[in-house]
Amino acid sequence: MQLQQRRIGHSGLTSSALGLGCMGMSEFYGATDEAQSLATLEAALAAGVTLFDTADAYGFGHNEQLLGRFLRQHRGQALVATKCGLAREPGSYARRVDNTPAYIRQACEASLARLGVEAIDLFYLHRLNLDTPLAESMGALAQLMQEGKIHAVGLCEVSAATLRRAAALCPVAAVQSEYSLWTREPEQGVLAACRDVGASFFAYSPLGRGFLTGTIAGAASLDAGDFRHFNPRFAGDNLARNQAIAGLVKRMAHDKGCTPAQLALAWLLAQGDDIIPIPGTKRIAYLHDNLGALDVRLDAAELAAISAAFPLGMAAGARYTDEGMKGVDA
C-alpha cells in the first residue's frame, strides 16, 4: 500500500506523509512488549508507512536494536531516522548534550551497528550544545555524509537563528521539534526558517503525548513508570486546566465525524506539504487510527476555526522539566 508522500528537504529522499515514532516501544510510556512492538512495525510498513524514527538515547540503545531486527527483514523498504548528542546514564532521566565531533562519529558508528544498516537515512543532532562551535558539529555531520555513513542531516529543537547558521555550513534536510495543537511555538520563526533553508519539518508528539486523544483523565490513566507522571502539563492543577483542551478537540472531532487523534493530525498535515508528523505508538489499533487522519479533509474555514480555538500558549505547564529542556531552542 502506498500513502501520500512528502519530500525530505533537498535530500532526494521521500517519506510517507505520516511517519512512526518508535521511542515508546522501549521506555517512557509504561510497560513495553517487544512482540507487540514488532507487530506494530510490520503493520505500519504494510499500511504504507516508510519513515521510522528512533534515537540512540531511547532505551539506551534498545530502541535502535529493536528497529534493527525489523529492518533486517525489510531491506530497502523503509527509511530510518535516528539521533545523537543526548547522552544519558542508564537508569536516569538526567542527560548531557554532547555535540563534539568525536562524540558524533562514535555515536554514528554505534547506531549503524545497532540498526544493522550500512547507512543512516536521516541523522539528527538530538539537542544542541553551542559550547562546541557549530562549525565543528556541522563539519562532523558533513564528513559522515561524504563518507556515505549518513544520507541526510537533521537538527532537533533548534532555534531559527541557529538553523540558518547551521544550514550555511552543511545542508540541513530536516528539523524535528514538538508541534501540535497545544504546542505551536514552531510557528514563531522555526517553520519560516525551515522554508528559507529548504528543510522539512518533522513534528514529534503531534498528539500532545497522547493527551489530545482525550483518553487521559488523570494520573490513574497512566502506567507506573510513565514519564508523564513527572511532566508539568500532566501534573496537578495543570492537568485539570488542560482537560478543557482535550474536551474541545473531542467536540470538534465529533462534529467533523473523525476521532480526536485524526483531527489533530489532519490539522498538522494541512499546515504545509513540508510537515511530516511522527506520532508514536506501540499498538496497532492506535496506528490505524492515526493513519485515518490522511483521509480527513479540512477546508479553509475549518482550519481557521481550529487554529483560533487552540492559540499559542493555551496549554498550562511547561513542555518538560528543566532537565528535559536542556538543549531546547539552542
| Residues known to be catalytic | 58
Residues 61, 65, 68, 70: what is their CA dihedral angle, to the nearest 10 degrees? -130
| Calpha distance 85→105 (Å, rounded) | 10
317-322 contacts, C-beta under 8 A, 24 or more apart: 317/231, 317/232, 317/233, 317/234, 317/235, 317/238, 317/242, 318/232, 318/233, 319/178, 319/183, 319/231, 319/232, 319/233, 320/231, 320/232, 321/230, 321/231, 321/232
275: left (phi over 0), alpha (psi -120 to 50) or beta: beta
Greatest CA separation for the chain? 53
Q: What angle do CA 272, 275, 279 make, to 5 degrees?
A: 135
